Structure 1
Amino acid sequence: MAATHLCFSVPPPIPFSSPSAPKLRHGPSLYCAGFNFTHKLSELSNFNRRQKGHQFSALGGDLLGDFGARDPFPAEIESGFGEKVLGSGNTEHRILIPNISALSLAQQECGPLSPFQPPLSKDDAQKLLRKVVGWRLLDDEGGLKLQCLWKLRDFKCGVELINRIYRVAEATGHFPNLHLEQSNQVRAELWTASIGGLSMNDFIVAAKIDEIKTSDLVPKKRVWA
């Protein structure tokens, strides 16, 4: 059987003076089958990457682009590409103080009301009701009211809760009607009598009352083994 001989033709290395030579200036290069390989890849880590204007080109037939950041080319600067992308350099950054609509009800303060001001509609009251916890709407003959009930451990805890609610309401100047019922139940009702219904002040006070600590006053839950 005749022997088969395989022949490989390896072109000579491309000199670094050639325009098509790789930009790596570290060690000799070998051109083989359309790929450029550095002779000393292990020395890449010691290469001075801080050298201005130096770029690493991806090796291989399909160029992956440059590694790391680079300065824009003059043609890119002339095209004004920076103004056509998000995060333009001239973006104005301002620290805005939140307005009253962005604050929670508990952070707002009660304001003066005119006797000619109309009360809140039932639709508006229903929307504001989502911002308070444990309160419900009462459609009374005198207008809409807010009502909340608390079940306490005993009479003493009921009196203590009424005192805590009073201290919060005193700071706002808008007082609810408070009732101690069945020796261990407190009922609070809020409305603005001067306008014959609910105002924003009623919801503000309700939100502030929601922040009162009651965990030490309510009955303890039983834990079953």
Structure 2
Amino acid sequence: MEIQTSEQLTQKKCKPCEGGVDPCTLEESNNQLLNLQGWYLTHDGQRIRKDWVVKNFMAGMKFFNQVAEVAESDGHHPDLHIAGYRNVSIELWTHAIGGLSENDFILAAKIDQLPIDMK
């Protein structure tokens, strides 16, 4: 996978993935994450995650609704987590390959462009 800037990633659209391709290597993932502030690897390098503390529960839900619109538009759906009413997290991976693909980094870059009401 070619390492891209956040701006390059946001210009792309996620491609359908039905499997049959290799997930990103740990080195590729780590290098790509250098261009995505706050995202980090989880699950032995098979997923990326980012955490935020928002103003209140409704701010978290508003943010998740915006994420849902972007995700649905690209056909790539993240796991959304809210805990303690203000702690929100998003986890991305490509289910069909059991690891990370370019789609995950594209969606992460697009999520980073969304407004979020922080504390």
Q: TM > 0.5 between the two?
A: yes
Separation in 2, partners of 1:198, 1:159: 26
Specify the alignment match of 1:117 in structure 2.
21
**Of the two structures, which has the highest relative contact order with CA contacts closer than 8 Å and spacing of 6 or more?**
2
Write out aligned runs for 1:59-208 (5 A). Answer: 104-140=8-44, 144-208=46-110
1:113 deviates by: 2.5
CA–CA distance in 2 between the matches of 1:124 and 1:149?
Answer: 22
Considering only CA atoms, is the larger Rg found in Structure 1 or Structure 2?
Answer: 1
Residues in 2 aligned to 1:197 and 1:218: alpha-carbon distance in whole angstroms: 30
Instruction: Report SS of the residue matched to 2:71.
Output: helix
Shift of 1:114: 4.3
CA distance in 1, matches of 2:110, 2:58: 22
> Aligned letter for 1:115?
G
Q: Could you tell me the TM-score, scaled by structure 1's length?
A: 0.49
SS at match of 1:111: coil
Where is the helix percentage greater, Structure 1 or Structure 2? Answer: 2
CA drift at 1:182: 0.6
Alignment RMSD: 1.6
Q: In 2, are the aligned partners of 1:105 and 1:207 still within 8 Å (CA)?
A: yes
Q: 2:59 is paired with a residue of what secondary structure?
A: helix
Whether the 8 Å contact between 2:16 and 2:75 is mirrored in structure 1 is no
**Ranges in structure 2 where 5+ consecutive residues have no aligned partner:** none
Shift of 1:156: 1.1
Q: Secondary structure, in 3 states, of the residue corresponding to 1:104? A: helix
Higher mean C-alpha displacement, 162-171 vs 110-119: 110-119
How many correspondences in the alignment?
115
TM-score, normalising length: structure 2: 0.89
